[in-house]
Amino acid sequence: MATNTHYDAIIIGTGAGGGTLAYHLAASGKKILILERGSFLPREKENWSALEVYQRERYHTQEQWFDTNGKAFRPATGYWVGGNTKVYGAALLRMRERDFEQVTHQDGISPEWAVKYADFEPYYAQAEQLYDVDGQAGLDPTEPTRSQPYPYAPVRHEPRMQELANAFTKEVQTFW
């Protein structure tokens, strides 16, 4: 039987990138194929366990990757419908202007990007609307410029987080 294998767009992966693109293109009426190598993340109580998700890396692949020196490591990534966003911490931060410049890290140099923060800014603004991001501009001295306020006011910190926030604020005020 002949099948129609023409697609206007083929999206590989259903993470934050592929998923957002699919959502955006859906209204276009174009014929879109989405390919995903992973299966559905099992629903289980460990989904909610920071120990399992972050420390035991329950949902990360068992694959071995190799760095430029041939040293094996287990990558902090998983293959699931929804990608890593199935287990991510839901802290949707914007990168800083300087992240697009050359940055020297402990493990090497992150080269300068050909595109800059200003190129991304309108898309950050759209993404914050799409993902209902909470926050308050003007508190973080490292935060980049923004064309729109956060769509929602910040949620309250949990008590321990509030203690940390107070301590950091004091520290930052002394520093700046």
Ligand X SMILES: Cc1cc2nc3c(=O)[nH]c(=O)nc-3n(C[C@H](O)[C@H](O)[C@H](O)COP(=O)(O)OP(=O)(O)OC[C@H]3O[C@@H](n4cnc5c(N)ncnc54)[C@H](O)[C@@H]3O)c2cc1C
- Which of the stretches 36-44, 95-103, 105-113, 131-139 binds ligand X when contact is defined by CB under 6 A? 36-44
DSSP for 8-77, written as a single string: SEEEE--SHHHHHHHHHHHTTT--EEEE--SBPPP--GGGG-HIIIIIS-TTS----EE-TTS-EE--S-
Q: Nearer to ligand X by C-beta: 88 or 170?
A: 88
CA distance 153 to 139: 13
Q: How far is the CB of 81 from ligand X (least distance, A)?
A: 7
> Closest separation between CB of residue 41 and ligand X, Å?
10
* Smallest gap from residue 94 Cβ to ligand X (A): 10
Site for ligand X in 100-129 (CB under 6 A): none
Question: How many residues sit close enough to ligand X to count as binding (CB under 6 A)?
Answer: 27
Q: Rank residues 53 and 124 by Cβ distance to ligand X and give the closer one.
A: 53
Is the separation of the CB atoms in 140 and 169 below 8 Å? no
The smaller minimum CB distance to ligand X, of residues 29 and 89, is found at 89
Interface pick for ligand X out of 91, 109, 114, 155 (rule CB under 6 A): 91
Query: Would you count residue 144 as binding ligand X (CB under 6 A)?
Result: no
Exposure string for 2-28, b = 16+ CB within 10 A, e = fewer: eeeeeeeeebebbbbebbbbeeeeeee
Query: Which x/- pattern, by CB under 6 A, does the window 50-89 give for ligand X?
Result: ---xx---------------------xx-xx--xxx-xxx
Instruction: Please state, in angstroms and as integers, the Cα–Cα distance from residue 142 to each residue in 13, 29, 95, following that order.
Output: 32, 41, 10
| Contact predicate 49/59, CB 8 Å | no
Q: Which residues sit at the interface with ligand X, rule CB under 6 A?
A: 12-18, 35-38, 53-54, 76-77, 79-80, 83-85, 87-93
